[in-house]
């Protein structure tokens, strides 16, 4: 069989970075071909080259046997390539239906044909078996819904090649399953799918073949049956990774956070719990269960209707992020692009942003202290950047997430709230982030953790609270928590 798309020795550089250093890849019709690699390995850059967003510096591409040289995303689309980017590209003020049909609005005699638009939009959502409010502006959607909308938009055209760059990073288990069944249908129709993900389980579940990218070059391509997950990791990092051992935790100390009767209807209903010093309390639940809302109220980002938050025994007035920060509450938010980072600023400025008041005490040493801090986290989290002066907006997705983590780890917090802290982060950096969280806990900090990845939640949490429809419906100690019990509680809470 002839490959539908083949890449030969593709290179591409940015100032100070050789992002692609000679990529070879062959893609066949009807295959799901996964692409794995560390954060900054060049995966998204390669997809932008295929998608016509970036021209390569050198190398050739062939599509259905013909030379393929796209000059814009429009060219790649016309050639039958659909592309779901890593970062959302929705227009927040437009409705769900308008976003779905952006650039392909049905017109009749110059008038926008609204019924036709709604019909086509509904069809696109039906293909993914999801429901979204067609007439609401897309800014009202949560991150997972936004991602599903983005995917539905790309799947409308029958494409020979479909590129998906970390499509599940923001999806719930259920949404991800809808996506997987859509991918299987597309594969059965003969589409070739390039699938990028940091989640090993889903790569094995979904793919026919796998290629690994390291430092901008492909290290090889395998059938899934030919390679073990350990070997994949070794290919990605270029060495064997040692297994990290679960650290033993000391007995927890005094209560740091006490929440009682927290309510913000309809998302948060009468929520009460405590987090002690030296303890990680994990919040489990389906996406939309209200976990992020609970975190945001405690961090002062949203007001609450009733309820009390005590920090170290003293009331923390809600509704003001500044007040929460002053009392030592740190929030690593779920939506890094909008809430966690100033994209135009450098790595150093982003990392030291949260500690400026603490560093100011050092007077003239401030500049140097900021530099040391930035260098320390660049090294500890292995943030791939040419220098600490680099604008955060140019870093790869996973490396941006590491900067958000560094920013809050650098600050001395009493309570650290982590909402999906390892989203989009590669396996090596995940282990580093786990280690840094353990350090914080050993130093007596309290941690509230939200994660959709159950293995992560079970590994880090001292206790797990299951949230369903805005309520705490179950609590498990670390030793008794299992994925089955948690899921059963979450579903029972909906009944």
Ligand X SMILES: Nc1ncnc2c1ncn2[C@@H]1O[C@H](COP(=O)(O)OP(=O)(O)OP(=O)(O)O)[C@@H](O)[C@H]1O
Binding site for Mg ion (CB under 5 A): 43-44, 86, 396-397
x-marked contacts with ligand X along 84-123 as a string, rule CB under 6 A: --x-------------------------------------
> Which of 34, 44, 85, 462 is in the footprint of ligand X by CB under 6 A?
44
Eight-class DSSP state of 337: I
> Which of 209, 384, 411, 423 is in the footprint of ligand X by CB under 6 A?
384
Q: Which is nearer to Mg ion, 44 or 147 (CB)?
A: 44
Eight-class DSSP state of 157: S
Residue 296 near which of Mg ion, ligand X, none (CB within 5-8 Å, type-dependent):
none
Sheet holding 314-315: strands in order across? Answer: 268-276, 255-264, 306-311, 314-315
Q: Which is nearer to Mg ion, 300 or 398 (CB)?
A: 398
Residue 14 near which of ligand X, Mg ion, none (CB within 5-8 Å, type-dependent):
ligand X
Q: What is the dihedral of CA 337, 205, 207, 233, to 10 degrees?
A: 70
Cβ proximity of 308 and 315 under 8 Å: yes
Q: Which two tokens stand for residue 400?
A: 């941006």
Q: Of 11-19, 139-147, 242-250, 342-350, which part binds ligand X (CB under 6 A)?
A: 11-19
Residue 330: closest CA among 446, 225, 427: 446
Beta carbon of residue 45, minimum distance to ligand X (angstroms, whole number):
3
Residue 42 near which of ligand X, Mg ion, none (CB within 5-8 Å, type-dependent):
ligand X
Residue 462 near which of Mg ion, ligand X, none (CB within 5-8 Å, type-dependent):
none
**Long-range contacts: 210-213, Cβ < 8 Å, 24+?**
210/33, 210/34, 210/35, 210/36, 211/25, 211/33, 211/34, 211/35, 211/36, 212/35, 212/36, 212/37, 212/236, 213/23, 213/35, 213/36, 213/37, 213/41, 213/42, 213/43, 213/46
Q: Which is nearer to Mg ion, 113 or 219 (CB)?
A: 219
Q: Of 34-42, 290-298, 454-462, 474-482, which part binds ligand X (CB under 6 A)?
A: 34-42
Cβ neighbour number for residue 492 with a 10 Å cutoff = 12
x-marked contacts with ligand X along 423-452 as a string, rule CB under 6 A: ---x--------------------------
x-marked contacts with ligand X along 179-208 as a string, rule CB under 6 A: ------------------------------
Residue 399 sits in the site that holds ligand X (CB under 6 A): yes
Three-state secondary structure of 194-261:
EEECCCHHHHHHHCCEEEEEECCEEEEEEEHHHCCHHHHHHHHHCCCCCCCCCCCCCCCCCEEEEEEE
Cβ proximity of 194 and 47 under 8 Å: yes
Q: Of 39-47, 263-271, 341-349, 474-482, which part binds ligand X (CB under 6 A)?
A: 39-47
Residue numbers of the site for ligand X (CB under 6 A)?
14, 17, 19, 37, 39-45, 86, 384, 394-399, 426
């Amino acid at each position: 069989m002839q490959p539908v798309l083949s890449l030969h020795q593709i290179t591409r550089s940015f100032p100070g970075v050789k992002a692609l250093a000679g990529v070879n890849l062959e893609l066949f019709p009807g295959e799901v071909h996964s692409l794995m690699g560390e954060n900054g390995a060049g995966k998204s850059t390669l997809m932008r080259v295929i998608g016509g967003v970036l021209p390569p510096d050198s190398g050739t591409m062939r599509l259905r046997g013909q030379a393929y040289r796209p000059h814009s995303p429009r060219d790649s689309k016309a050639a039958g390539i659909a592309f779901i980017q890593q970062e959302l590209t929705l227009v927040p003020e437009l409705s769900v239906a308008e976003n779905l049909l952006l650039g392909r609005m049905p017109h009749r005699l110059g008038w926008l044909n609204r019924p036709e638009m709604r019909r086509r939009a509904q069809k696109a959502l039906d293909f993914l078996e999801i429901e979204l409010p067609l007439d609401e502006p897309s800014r009202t959607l949560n991150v997972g819904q936004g991602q599903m909308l983005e995917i539905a938009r790309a799947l409308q055209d029958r494409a020979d090649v479909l590129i998906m760059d970390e499509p599940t990073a923001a999806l719930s288990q259920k949404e991800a399953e809808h996506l997987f069944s859509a991918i299987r249908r597309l594969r059965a129709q003969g589409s070739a799918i390039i699938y990028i993900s940091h989640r090993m389980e889903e790569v094995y579940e979904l793919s026919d073949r796998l290629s690994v990218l390291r430092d901008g070059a492909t290290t090889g391509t395998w059938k899934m049956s030919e390679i073990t997950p350990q070997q994949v990791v070794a290919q990605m990092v270029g060495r064997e990774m040692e297994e990290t051992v679960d650290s033993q935790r000391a007995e927890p100390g005094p209560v740091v956070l006490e929440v009682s009767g927290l309510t913000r209807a309809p998302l948060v209903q009468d929520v009460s719990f405590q987090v002690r010093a030296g303890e990680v309390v994990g919040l489990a639940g389906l996406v939309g269960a209200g976990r992020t809302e609970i975190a945001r109220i405690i961090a002062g980002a949203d007001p609450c209707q009733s309820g009390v938050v005590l920090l170290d025994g003293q009331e923390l007035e809600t509704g003001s992020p500044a007040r929460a920060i002053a009392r030592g509450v740190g929030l690593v938010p779920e939506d890094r692009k909008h809430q966690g980072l100033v994209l135009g600023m450098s790595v150093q400025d982003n990392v030291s942003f949260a500690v400026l008041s603490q560093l100011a005490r050092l007077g003239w040493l401030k500049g140097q202290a900021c530099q040391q801090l930035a260098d320390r986290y660049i090294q500890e989290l292995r943030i791939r950047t040419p220098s600490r002066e680099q604008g955060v907006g140019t870093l790869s997705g996973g490396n941006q997430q590491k900067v958000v983590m560094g920013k809050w780890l650098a600050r001395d917090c009493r309570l650290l709230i982590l909402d999906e802290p390892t989203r989009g982060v590669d396996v090596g950096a995940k282990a580093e982030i786990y280690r840094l969280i353990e350090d914080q806990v050993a130093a007596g900090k309290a941690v509230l953790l939200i994660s959709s990845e159950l293995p992560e939640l079970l590994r880090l949490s001292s206790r797990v609270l299951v949230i369903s429809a805005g309520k705490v419906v179950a609590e498990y100690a670390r030793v008794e928590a299992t994925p089955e019990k948690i899921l059963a509680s979450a579903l029972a809470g909906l009944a």
